[in-house]
Homo-oligomer: A and B are copies of this chain.
Amino acid sequence: MSAEFAFIDRLRALASHPAARGLEDDAAVLRIGAETLILTHDSIAEGVHVRAGSDPADIAWKLIATNLSDLAAKGAEPLGVLTSHALGDSEWDAAFAAGLGAVLDCYDVPLLGGDTIRLPDGATRVFGCTALGRAICDPVPARSGAQAGDGLWVMGTIGDALAGFTLLEAGEADADPLTAAYLRPRPLLAEGRALAPIVTAMMDVSDGLLIDAARMARASGLSAEIDSSAVPISDAARALLNTKEGEMLRWGDDYALLFTAPRDCNPPVFATRIGVMTDGGAGPVVLDGMALDPSSIGGYQH
């Protein structure tokens, strides 16, 4: 992936405006007049970020939900989305539009615009979403604000998405709540807004708990010391994957919120304290007392 890192470094050099937050955060934070806008863009490619042959309504849901999750991580109220759509056949597109309608309706988010393109037959289709929100508190939580001594919390559960993916790969019925967790993640918008005023740092867990904790730790110049037995894993995921706890901590798509706050803080929504932030000498992540080598934190590294 070094070519990708090189490219992102080039983009970083261009993104010198403070609103870009050095391309190190979940979203851009742009002040305009008395408002603070939150902007994020993420794409999904068929067969890359979602399984080939996925239900188009699920792809639409995931596309929107993952972008709303970035707004949730900044405690923002969504104002709308723009989408970019690569056309399929008309039945496929109709099902995609139905999924789009369902997720926008569920979170009461307006579709503001976007574009539609037709790629050559057989091309990998790519779907994009830009989500726009407004901040509800100042400062807007960043990944970089954690303080040594802060507690580290997870709001939501870890592992359900991996469990759901495992069921799907095994050809199990997809009516299971675990597969729903994988196919139709729920952005924690209300929870993010409740947490934003009290956190010192916050992000969503999109690529894997350990890698995302490492990012927050690095951005804050600290170490995240995590107690694996404290990580909130649902009973259902544990029952399915009981020997794979380490994998659950390294797999993405959970869209939980990861945040730091003073250790004695009582979060306004239910959340689980999984560790503490320390001064960073031990490296970004210390799991059960052992400093992890960057190559062993897994996750979707992009």
- Which A residues have a C-beta under 8 Å from some C-beta of B? 1, 3-4, 6-8, 10-11, 13-17, 19-20, 23, 27-28, 30, 32-35, 37, 39-43, 45, 47-49, 79-80, 82-87, 89-90, 93-94, 97, 100-101, 104, 110-120, 123-124, 126, 128, 130, 132, 134, 302
Contact = CB atoms under 8 A, between A and B. Distances in A.
A19 B14 CA distance: 30
A155 to B, nearest CB: 24
B112 A7 contact: no
Contacts of A43: 84, 115, 117, 128
A114 B35 CA distance: 21
A18 to B, nearest CB: 9
Contacts of A30: 79-80, 112, 132
Given A20-B113, A28-B82, A118 B35 contact: no
A112 B35 contact: no
A4 B112 contact: no
Contacts of A80: 17, 19-20, 28, 30, 39
9 contacts: A11-B111, A14-B104, A19-B110, A20-B80, A30-B112, A39-B80, A45-B119, A47-B120, A123-B124
